[in-house]
């Protein structure tokens, strides 16, 4: 349920425009929702098969709560207990917990979904809990710490619990992490787009390295034109940026389709290790959505792609890295605490975004980023590596995170 207005807390599903097992594209209207102030359309956040409708027509749903799941064909999802218009039995303690949660939200203090659930189940007063997450966010472990006996058990039990809590998801950036696309992929595609428009612009390797300090392709071009001058006779700068970016994306897709750019060493191996360990997989990138999906599909292969629970890319968020918005969204989509997620990044902007979201971060450097400051990273390597030059395994990542 999207956020619509600062004072709107719930919406009622008036009509579903799709049914389960339908294929939807990002931007397709999937539902009509009515609030006490307006009627609006809800669009799909990403493309895929509509796996599950979580609520019936007439159900009242809280803002930012999921209303449906989109994924790969054959993928299964666990239906929440509150779905299909049902709700757990209300008790005075639970009603009080809901009121406190709403008060905290109005006060600017966020509470994770799992923290709300645990507090509701145990009748915990959230207003008396000091959150340890980013900006004081109240996390599940903050609530558990107030429950007598919740942290009890043997050292072995605590170690097992800590392992389960610390790492439940492995999230990859795309460019520079899955594949070394920047120098011989995106840079080349940008230059081809400029040439197609008749612009005498060539981003050489050195210049492009400086431009990479700006996240996002559209933002990067705008930054360049603002500093070096816009082409003559441009009446609509936004339209030009949009046209150039579409051309650039098409050229980049051709490069990926050609198979010229291989996966970086160790990526497929680490994906396989995570899959075997039942670790949730995701990709978070500021690159164009089509391009990211193609990289995962063509280079990792359809079988590996099927194990990814989310691929978030392009304009799915309004703010680019180092803003943590895309990783905050990933935490929400995956239904996990930030501290349960480990991110693999290649740049300082990506590292800062992951850390600002409260996640752990492993950095794999490349030619453009090797001299950047990665002080905040949990581990820095030149590549993930394959035999006989493996630099990090999933087991080692878990051990490093536990020790930190």
Residues tagged active-site: 173, 175
Q: What dihedral do alpha carbons 28, 34, 38, 39 form, nearest 10°?
A: 40
344 has which bridge partners? 172, 362
Q: How far apart are CA 223 and CA 185, in angstroms?
A: 20
Can you say how many angstroms the Cα of residue 235 is from the centroid of all Cα atoms in its chain?
Answer: 35
Q: How far apart are CA 370 and CA 365, in angstroms?
A: 5
Strand order in the sheet with 68-71: 23-24, 48-53, 68-71
Q: How far apart are CA 276 and CA 255, in angstroms?
A: 31
Question: Within 10 A of 85 (CB to CB), how many other CB atoms are there?
Answer: 14
* 377 close to 361: Cβ distance less than 8 angstroms: yes
Q: What dihedral do alpha carbons 174, 350, 394, 137 form, nearest 10°?
A: -120
Phi, psi of 95 (to 5 degrees): -65, -40
* 322 close to 345: Cβ distance less than 8 angstroms: no
41 has which bridge partners? 32
204 burial (CB, 10 Å; 0-12 / 13-18 / 19+) is exposed
* 338 close to 332: Cβ distance less than 8 angstroms: no
Q: How far is CA 18 from CA 43, 57, 69, 260, 316, in A?
A: 11, 12, 12, 39, 21
């Amino acid at each position: 349920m999207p956020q619509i207005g600062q004072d709107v807390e719930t919406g009622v599903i008036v009509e579903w425009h799709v049914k389960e097992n339908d294929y939807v594209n990002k931007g397709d209207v999937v539902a009509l929702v009515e609030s006490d102030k307006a009627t609006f359309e809800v669009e799909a956040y990403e493309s895929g098969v509509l796996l599950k409708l979580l609520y019936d027509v007439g159900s009242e749903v809280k803002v930012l709560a999921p209303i449906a799941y989109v994924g790969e064909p054959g993928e299964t999802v666990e239906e929440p207990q509150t779905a299909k218009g049902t709700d757990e039995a209300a008790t005075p303690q639970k009603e009080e917990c809901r009121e406190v949660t709403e008060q905290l939200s109005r006060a600017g203090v966020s509470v994770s979904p799992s923290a709300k659930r645990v507090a509701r189940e145990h009748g915990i007063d959230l207003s008396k809990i000091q959150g340890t997450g980013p900006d004081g966010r109240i996390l599940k472990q903050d609530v558990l710490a107030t429950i007598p006996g919740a942290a009890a058990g043997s050292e072995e039990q605590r170690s097992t619990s800590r392992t389960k809590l610390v790492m439940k998801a492995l999230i990859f950036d795309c460019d520079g992490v899955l594949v070394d696309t920047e120098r011989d992929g995106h840079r080349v595609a940008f230059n081809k787009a400029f040439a197609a428009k008749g612009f005498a612009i060539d981003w050489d390797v050195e210049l492009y390295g400086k431009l990479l300090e700006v996240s996002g392709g559209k933002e990067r071009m705008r930054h360049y034109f603002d500093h070096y001058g816009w082409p003559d006779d441009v009446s609509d700068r936004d339209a030009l940026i949009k046209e150039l970016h579409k051309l650039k994306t098409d050229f980049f897709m051709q490069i990926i389709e050609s198979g010229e750019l291989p996966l970086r060493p160790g990526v497929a191996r680490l994906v396989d290790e995570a899959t075997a360990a039942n670790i949730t997989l995701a990709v978070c990138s500021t690159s164009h959505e089509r391009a990211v999906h193609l990289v995962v599909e063509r280079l990792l292969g359809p079988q590996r792609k099927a194990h990814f629970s989310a691929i978030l890319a392009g304009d799915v968020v309004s703010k680019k890295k180092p803003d943590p918005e895309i990783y905050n969204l990933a935490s929400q989509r995956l239904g996990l605490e930030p501290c349960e997620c480990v991110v693999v990044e290649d740049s300082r902007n990506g590292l800062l975004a992951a850390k600002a979201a409260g996640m752990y971060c492993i950095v794999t450097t490349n030619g453009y980023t090797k001299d950047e400051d990665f002080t905040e990273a949990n581990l820095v390597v030149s590549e993930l590596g394959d035999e006989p030059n493996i630099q990090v395994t999933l087991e080692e990542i878990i051990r490093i995170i536990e020790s930190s």
